[in-house]
Amino acid sequence: MNILEKEKKLIALEKQIDSLGNANSVKKLKAEIDNFKQNEMTKLSAWDRVLLARHQARPKAKEFINYLSPNFIELHGDRLYRDDPSIIGGIGTIDGNVFTIIAQQKGATTEDNIKRNFAMPHPEGYRKALRLMQQAEKFKRPILTLIDTPGAYPGIGAEERGQGQAIAQNLMEMSKLTVPIITVIIGEGGSGGALAIGFANKMLMLENAIFSILSPEGYASILWKDVTKAPQAAEAMKLTAYDLKDFQIIDEIIKEPPGGAHFDKEKVFIDTKVAILDTYNKLKKLTGIELYYQRNTKTRNYGFLQRFNYDNLGGIKNDIHKDFRDR
Amino acid sequence: MNDIGKSITKRKQLKQKLKIFQEERPFNKAQKMDVPKGLYEKCPTCERTVNKKTNIINDYICTHCGNHFRMRAIDRINYIVDSETFIEKGIGYITLNPLFQNGYEEKIQEYKKNTHLDEAYIYGYGKINNKPCVIGVMDSYFLMGSMGSVVGEKVTKTFEYAIYKRLPVIIFCASGGARMQEGIFSLMQMAKTSAAVARHSKMGLLYISVLTHPTTGGVNASFASLGDIILAEPNALIGFAGPRVIEQTIKQKLPEGFQRSEFLLEKGFIDQVVHRKDLKTVLAKLLAFHGGYN
Ligand SMILES: [Zn+2]
């Protein structure tokens, strides 16, 4: 039973409460529901988390922004081609601190989703993000980015306007910035399309968000030639927040209520705000050049490899490897 | 034996090992790589059967139509770099299996044996028409030249070595993208290599990126697209998403010549399409224009 089926069962149980008249049996059923929530809905496989990250009811970037920064002003356009609705950017205050906020926005309805291209940005979206980030650098504003995308859009127009070049340019320019960059992965973090706004000093992640090199479906169909093996692929790819924390790719996990963020949005928003402000207060103490070095050193250390050295010559082939396996 | 004695022996052993390692590769020799599996192959453009040996002697260019075949990294170095000047750097990286993929380690071993390389990328110091530079070459015969942790690390080291020596960098890109088997670690190499380019660029040094068939995915969306000057070989496939993925997404056939070098030249994303036979001259000229190398 995957998490969506469990959710259906929970809703069915909650419906039963209304039909019951007897106070005693209501109490009994409520206890059962609580028990179900605490025990069943918190045991999640990697595939469950993928389903939750893509859940239609999951809070979208705009809802986060509305809570974090009620006075947010949206700024549009890349000044080169057009405005890409799949990425929203602008300025707002979070607890009195002025931030440049950039986020990938999924649509709440089907119509909205089509307008936002299912949060799959075109090059102009990335160029808009870069423009706003360089503006933040000019005015020494911290940057907050919210990631929620299946990936950069693969289409004719996107390729004609240099999707790869736009992502590469973002990565290069973000490495040079001297303001704090905080990234929160709130849903799907799909491949280079997510990383293009996620080159950060600190990377936070919601508990049921995912961050991967490609979709589990893509992985299963390329490596195993079988799309239906996506659940196994999700497990093998190590794309959950806990795996990524183990790998030291992300810095902090923001907890979600049992069953996913949509069960108690308010609490998730509060926790996210607290986590962002905590991180910001730490980063605020660093100077521009320190922030630059912190971000570059962190990135420089990404990788999982070993080199011949005097110590392991003829010894154990790869001791890092062993450490991870034991865990 | 005391500790110092032990460490000296170890160093000697290591040196010996590295020496063997280097001698296995036919740099500095005018010898072309042997191509396994079959004597003939079909040219994808003119669809005629070509003899692989003739093909290799003709620098992997089709004798009928001039199509550029994929070139092996070692042959590329022999072809571009002045003979006896190439010194390979960054030897001895070991590819690990961070996600414990079944069969990944065996696959790497097999590719190592077939390609005479330890990974899909080699770099080192070399001279082009007597102008010094740091040169890096990706080999698309090694697991589609995909970028995993080791490739990302070596690309980063290329730029760091060039910063240290104050030299320009030339990288020949040929890659299907990031390496899936290493998962998120491969993805993060995009950020790592892009940051390395930025640091090299900050020193006022030249970086020329040469895109060869194919340059797609994560490599296209990182260091390959960040050259001060971007050259491409004729008819090379260059793009972020692969043509098959795009066709599946938009559910229609792609136009002829889409994502090819000439298309990108027209759209303004590369500086010049250069025939393989002219590549060395063009690179030497560009190196001469930047800085006082004699
Ligand atoms: Zn031909």
List of chain A residues whose C-beta atoms are within 8 Å of the C-beta of residue B224: 164, 168
Least confident of A138-142, B7-11, B196-200: B7-11
Higher pLDDT, B7 or A219: A219
**Which residues make Cβ contacts (< 8 Å) with residue A110, sequence separation at least 6?**
none
Which residue has tokens 């299912």? A118
> Is B250 in CB contact (< 8 Å) with chain A?
yes
Domains and CATH numbers, chain B: 1-69 (no CATH), 70-289 (3.90.226.10)
Task: Give tens-digit pLDDT for A20-38.
Answer: 777 777 788 788 888 877 7
Read off the pLDDT of each residue in B268-278 and give the average, rounded to a whole number. 92
Residue type, B24: E
pLDDT at residue A9 tops 50: yes
pLDDT at residue B283 tops 60: yes
Which residue has tokens 């998120």? B184
**What's residue A327's pLDDT?**
33
A205-231 in b/e form (b: 16+ CB < 10 A) is: bbbbbbbbbbbbebbbbebeeeeebbb
What does the DSSP assignment read for B123-136? EEEEEETTEEEEEE
- The two tokens of residue A152 are 């950069």
Q: How far is CA A229 from CA A47, A216, A233, B31, B223, in A?
A: 11, 8, 6, 46, 33
> Measured between CB atoms, which of A223, A299, A307 is closest to B192?
A299
The alpha-carbon gap from B155 to the nearest alpha carbon of chain A, in Å, equals: 12
> Is A172 in CB contact (< 8 Å) with chain B?
yes
How many residues are there in chain A? 327
Superfamily of domain A58-285: 2-enoyl-CoA Hydratase; Chain A, domain 1 (3.90.226.10)
**What's residue A310's pLDDT?**
45
- Number of other CB atoms surrounding residue B169 within 10 Å: 27
Query: Contact B33/B53 with Cβ under 8 angstroms?
Result: no
The partner residues of B122 in beta bridges, in order of sequence, read: B137
pLDDT at residue B293 tops 60: no
pTM of the predicted model, to two decimals? 0.89
**What's residue B60's pLDDT?**
83
Which residue has tokens 């006896």? B84
C-beta atoms of A299 and B198 within 8 A: no
Instruction: Name the closest residue on chain B to residue A199, using Cα atoms.
Output: B191
> Is B98 in CB contact (< 8 Å) with chain A?
yes
A residues 175-194 lying closer than 8 A (beta carbon) to B: 175-176, 191-192
- Residue A3: φ, ψ to 5°: -65, -30
Q: How far is CA A289 from CA A179, A280, A295, B199, in A?
A: 9, 16, 10, 14
Task: Give tens-digit pLDDT for A186-226.
Answer: 999 988 999 999 999 999 999 999 999 989 998 888 888 88
Residue type, A321: H
- The two tokens of residue A281 are 């207060």
Task: Give tens-digit pLDDT for A90-119.
Answer: 999 999 999 999 999 998 888 888 999 999
ipTM: 0.89
pLDDT at residue B20 tops 80: no
The partner residues of B207 in beta bridges, in order of sequence, read: B169
Q: Exposed, middle or buried by CB within 10 Å (0-12, 13-18, 19+), for B294?
A: exposed
Q: What is the mean pLDDT of chain B?
A: 85
Least confident of A152-161, A300-309, B157-166: A300-309
Q: Where are the beta strands (DSSP E) in B73-114?
A: 87-89, 93-95
**What's residue A320's pLDDT?**
40
**Which residues make Cβ contacts (< 8 Å) with residue B180, sequence separation at least 6?**
A213, A214, A219, A222, A223, B146, B186
Cα–Cα distance for residue pair B189/B179, rounded to 1 Å: 10
**What's residue B26's pLDDT?**
60
Instruction: Name the closest residue on chain A to residue B264, using Cα atoms.
Output: A160
Cα–Cα distance for residue pair B145/B211, rounded to 1 Å: 13
Give the confidence band of B224 by pLDDT, cuts at 50, 70, 90.
very high
pLDDT at residue B292 tops 60: no
C-beta atoms of B194 and A196 within 8 A: no
Dihedral sign of CA atoms A155, A108, A181, A240 in order: negative
Give the confidence band of A326 by pLDDT, cuts at 50, 70, 90.
very low
C-beta atoms of A303 and B185 within 8 A: yes
The alpha-carbon gap from B96 to the nearest alpha carbon of chain A, in Å, equals: 6
**What's residue B46's pLDDT?**
81
Cα(B114) to centroid(ligand 1), Å = 25
Q: How far is CA B119 from CA A6, B57, B131, in A?
A: 46, 25, 27
The alpha-carbon gap from B294 to the nearest alpha carbon of chain A, in Å, equals: 31
